[in-house]
Chains A and B, each alone.
Chain A
């Protein structure tokens, strides 16, 4: 504890010593690198590759961003590597998402906390959906939650994350908002990814599905599943405009799987500001809007200090729910 406190003091002293307003142009990464803390193909990998490529295409970086896949421990290996070995690397950014915040909140990165790194910016959000099979009798979200309220054994909800993971928490957020007291009774079945969960939904092994909009999109388009609610503050645009939000059905639940980046805790302020401004500029570009659209990403425009606060709030919310369902003490 004493050590931790000392470290915080030192960090505070360091942050205080440097003025934050340094010109962004002062810094250009020599060998820009993006760590995707998972194997190729997942969301983190996508974040690194798309942002890395777009930064170069838009002329914000002259060099190619090297994407390094450092899988393990649900992002914990990469987090530990950044904190312990590359703490003052100015050329490095790391892809993160709600999953990162969830694991930090639940202490699943042994010995690591969110203030050991600097949070750069978000590049979009993937809102949660709750869906049922297309031939299900359940018509809307309140109907589903009412069945669960009366007899939780009747509904098995399938999702792609572990118990206590983000897919699980989304259901609990919705159940909480509906007024279900004992959320621990809700049956959540963890599958290896959203695809497998949807397959089991279609097979009739489970009755409901919780996941992200982007992974559910293909199954909606093919007419296999029926989206009961999107956990976004307002209806989304374009092809997603048909999906009702949970809010308009009287369930005050919002669940966004944000995507963004963090940087090493010892990154210089000049470098930090430069990265924040580059990612911010990219976010505002038309090209990025196009990429968000094709990949089912909804807007989430947060940079620098704002993003840092957002992540802190997100960690706090997850910690509260996790404590309630007994995942952490």
Chain B
């Protein structure tokens, strides 16, 4: 009950006019930033840091503003994923896979409100999770040593094949390409530069934000340019939003999905470094494995394929705050930025935060609840407002996308070199799309590649070169088992149960349509 009374104190702190206003502002700006392709939660928060500092805000109000932006961006990311097939931010990648097909079927409005509800469910329960788990966290995080992390990353890659592509080989190629790109930069284990060609800008490796914006946003612009030449004004120029209220049957069908994904996403978020992208990715692929292993409806506009990643990534956003607050170890890219803010406000997150600055912690948590309700209110009835930003015809929108991509990336890094890298990735994305190679595994490869490699080498070094260390603990073994099952099951047993699944798939397909 100690927790609940602390939470009540937190609400007393958060419920001032100034803080409510800041939360509202943060939610609104966050949703817009999330919706605009290229501007994700981390750059959204990063852009608003100067604002928080120039307003001379104290620690709690600054955090309330910035975490509202964070949550808002997690909501907003889905809007452009669904309407444009461009992820508004990196965790919303998975929402494209089913959200866009739903929009093409004229169900954009339903997809938007369903994903809004899923986002709410995900972050609402994750915030409760944060309250109860943060004090307990140390025990969970400490089970993960380098060997377990490596197993976890391997799990992510081995279940990757069936996610975004119909062709496993192309997925594998894309993942390998991503892992290769991750090798660029100074090797953090030995300090030796790899594939940098003496170019100091490459020493820190490729910034995955740059890669994402290039691969997704710019390649979209290139493809538009190419098509525009032939056809008049692109046939997909207009997407009807359609009715906003999802049917009761759709809600009923997706409720278990949301709950399952919330748990998975939350856990993915809690793991340091894994973050929201992994949350949405694992939620989507697990859901697909679970209800649609044959790929009958997923990828073609299944509402569950929209609900799963959205509940997953918003739950991960809440989960990622757990290690940041409790251990001072960010759970994702955005929480790393938030951690930076905390430090510059002279607050050291970590085991001491809860006892030394309870007002900051509980005020923040209460603000998360408030922001969540504000976001639900903003994102369902007012979703039209945000979509209007995106409903501009492509010939106007695409130059804007290009402009925001350039301005956004330059705004973060202030480096013209990154702009060239981004254009490079844009061209790469355009070429790969022509070959029908999925882009998501490339990003996951670049995102996770370094952590995966480092953890492998740490594990091996710690055990003096003994490779068996990788399968030494029950947790590692469990993760490997899941990984192997996830990889082999569809290949071997898949054929045997095909007929059976075919029937079930048909059945489920018809109910979801």
Beta-carbon contact of B461 and A187 below 8 Å? yes
Q: Is B415 an interface residue (CB 8 A)?
A: yes
B182-196 contacts to A (CB < 8 Å): 186-191
Selected contact of A74 from candidates B186, B190, B328, CB within 8 Å: B186
> Given contacts A40-B341, A41-B343, A219-B351, are A74 and B203 in contact (CB under 8 A)?
yes
Chain B residues whose CB sits within 8 angstroms of the CB of A199 once the complex forms: 141-142, 272, 327, 329
Chain B residues whose CB sits within 8 angstroms of the CB of A42 once the complex forms: 340
Nearest-neighbour CB distance to chain B for A178, whole angstroms, equals: 22
Q: Is A31 an interface residue (CB 8 A)?
A: no
Chain A residues whose CB sits within 8 angstroms of the CB of B180 once the complex forms: none
Cα(A227)–Cα(B73), bound, Å: 41
**A-B CB contact pairs (8 Å), 13 listed:** A39-B340, A41-B340, A68-B414, A73-B186, A110-B200, A162-B190, A187-B461, A187-B462, A187-B464, A195-B327, A205-B146, A218-B348, A218-B351
Q: Is A221 an interface residue (CB 8 A)?
A: yes
Cα(A73)–Cα(B417), bound, Å: 13
Q: Is A13 an interface residue (CB 8 A)?
A: no
Chain A residues whose CB sits within 8 angstroms of the CB of B142 once the complex forms: 199, 202-204
1/0 per residue, CB under 8 A from A, across B321-346: the answer is: 00000011100000011011101101
A285-320 contacts to B (CB < 8 Å): 294-295
* A190-B454, A202-B138, A205-B145 given; 17 more Cβ-contact pairs under 8 Å: A40-B49, A41-B337, A69-B414, A72-B415, A77-B203, A108-B191, A110-B198, A110-B200, A162-B188, A164-B190, A196-B272, A200-B146, A203-B142, A204-B142, A217-B348, A218-B350, A224-B351
Chain B residues whose CB sits within 8 angstroms of the CB of A46 once the complex forms: 343-344
* Chain B minimum-CB-distance residue to A221: B352
The number of chain A residues touching the other chain, given as a range, is 35 or more
Selected contact of B145 from candidates A106, A203, A217, A218, CB within 8 Å: A203
1/0 per residue, CB under 8 A from A, across B142-180: the answer is: 111110000000000000000000000000000000000
Q: Is B260 an interface residue (CB 8 A)?
A: no
Residues on A lying within 8 angstroms of B by beta carbon are 39-42, 45-46, 49, 68-74, 76-77, 80, 106, 108-110, 153, 156, 162-165, 187, 189-193, 195-196, 199-200, 202-206, 217-219, 221-222, 224, 294-295, 327
Chain A residues whose CB sits within 8 angstroms of the CB of B413 once the complex forms: 71-72
Q: Is B458 an interface residue (CB 8 A)?
A: yes
B434-486 contacts to A (CB < 8 Å): 454, 458, 461-462, 464
Beta-carbon contact of B204 and A73 below 8 Å? yes
Q: Is B201 an interface residue (CB 8 A)?
A: yes
Q: State how many residues of chain B have any CB contact under 8 Å with chain A.
A: 45
Selected contact of A195 from candidates B201, B203, B204, B350, CB within 8 Å: B350
Cα(A40)–Cα(B338), bound, Å: 10
Beta-carbon contact of B340 and A162 below 8 Å? no
Chain A residues whose CB sits within 8 angstroms of the CB of B143 once the complex forms: 203
A-B complex: 10 closest residue pairs judged by Cβ atoms = A41-B340, A73-B203, A222-B351, A205-B145, A203-B142, A162-B191, A218-B350, A73-B200, A40-B340, A164-B191
> Given contacts A77-B201, A205-B146, are A196 and B191 in contact (CB under 8 A)?
no
Cα(A167)–Cα(B340), bound, Å: 21
Chain A residues whose CB sits within 8 angstroms of the CB of B339 once the complex forms: 41
1/0 per residue, CB under 8 A from A, across B267-281: the answer is: 000001100000000
Cα(A165)–Cα(B187), bound, Å: 12
Beta-carbon contact of B187 and A72 below 8 Å? no
* Chain A minimum-CB-distance residue to B329: A195
Beta-carbon contact of A200 and B350 below 8 Å? no
Cα(A39)–Cα(B343), bound, Å: 12
Cα(A73)–Cα(B346), bound, Å: 26
1/0 per residue, CB under 8 A from A, across B132-145: the answer is: 00000010011111
